[in-house]
Amino acid sequence: MAIEIARDAERGPKVGLEKMGETSRWLLHLFDLMLAHFGSRGWWPAETRFEVAVGAILTQSVSWNNASLAVQNLAEAGYLDPRQLDAAPEDEIARLIVPSRYYRQKARKLKAFTRVLVRDFDGDIGAMLAGKTQDVRRRLLAIHGIGPETADCILLYAGEHPIFVVDAYTRRIFARLGVWDEGVGYDAMQAYFHAHLPPDVPLYNEYHALIDGVGNRYCRARRPLCHQCPLLPACPAGQQGGGELA
């Protein structure tokens, strides 16, 4: 395999391939195909855990390129600090994050998140994300504007909790791979990966990043570039459609 799929000594014993079932092996084969194509994607690009959380909110319903422009604007204005962002006028935040689209709604979401972070955790995101994964997840989901995908991005990438992040790309790619129907829900998708992959933070981190790479570049909703996709050897839809999927 391109990287060792194992937990380190602090998180428990190593997970060997010999103990995995057929589906687990297949998922790791897909992982290897993507990793060989892209290399490690170095995701999530951020300097602090708070910046990860801000980015997770800003990238809702928009590409990361757009969200990163908004993050850069906040950084240049000195607002990638919980207390500074909490004190900033909402209109000012909205103006800075225009590239992320839906900027007024996202400004409210950022303010709601930082308000809880500063009020309840003295601005310490480490304290906010500490505890049992499901307890922290419920805490995040109680904040205005934080849905399951955003909460799980924050948990995985900022909190290093072993929770698999799924999204629209995951739904589309694995529907074409024959795993589920396009109408599958978030919880069912996530449960599939949790059932068949070891609870390993680096693995979950890289796997989600690789899925998004495939979805963004190749497995498009219309006219996917199947002939270039690293998952083509495992994809019945790609082999049959040849990039002409509706």
CATH 1.10.340.30 boundaries in the chain? 49-158
pLDDT tens for 44-67 read: 889 999 999 999 999 999 988 999
Whole-number pLDDT of residue 196:
97
pLDDT of residue 240: 87
Under a CB-based contact definition with an 8 Å cutoff, are residues 94 and 104 in contact? yes
pLDDT at 7 over 50: no
DSSP H or E stretch at residue 52: helix 49-58
* % residues pLDDT > 90 (the chain): 84
Start and end residues for every CATH 1.10.1670.10 domain found in the chain:
17-39+165-241
Q: Per CATH, which fold does 17-39+165-241 belong to?
A: Endonuclease Iii, domain 2 (1.10.1670)
Nearest to 141 by CA among 100, 112, 104: 112
pLDDT band at 12 (very low <50, low <70, confident <90, very high): very low
Q: What is the pLDDT of residues 154-168, one digit of tens each?
A: 999 999 999 999 999
Are 118 and 83 a contacting pair, CB within 8 Å? yes
What is the per-residue DSSP string for 70-108?
Answer: HHHHHHHTT-SSHHHHHHS-HHHHHHHTGGGSSHHHHHH
Query: Which of 103-142 are b and which e, b meaning 16 or more Cβ less than 10 Å from the residue's Cβ?
Result: beebbebbbebbebbbeebebebeebbeeebeebbebbee
To which CATH superfamily is domain 49-158 assigned? Answer: Hypothetical protein; domain 2 (1.10.340.30)
What is the average pLDDT across 109-119? 98
pLDDT the model gives residue 3: 37
Residue 201: pLDDT band (50, 70, 90) is very high
The Cα-based distances of 47 to 7, 71, 185, 214 in angstroms read 24, 11, 32, 25
Q: How confident is the model at residue 42 (pLDDT cuts 50, 70, 90)?
A: confident
pLDDT value for 63: 87
Of the pLDDT bands very low, low, confident and very high (cuts 50, 70, 90), residue 43 is: confident
What is the pLDDT, as a whole number, of residue 45? 85
Identify the band that residue 242 occupies on the pLDDT scale cut at 50, 70 and 90.
low
* CA–CA distances in Å: residue 7 to residues 81, 112, 203: 32, 35, 9
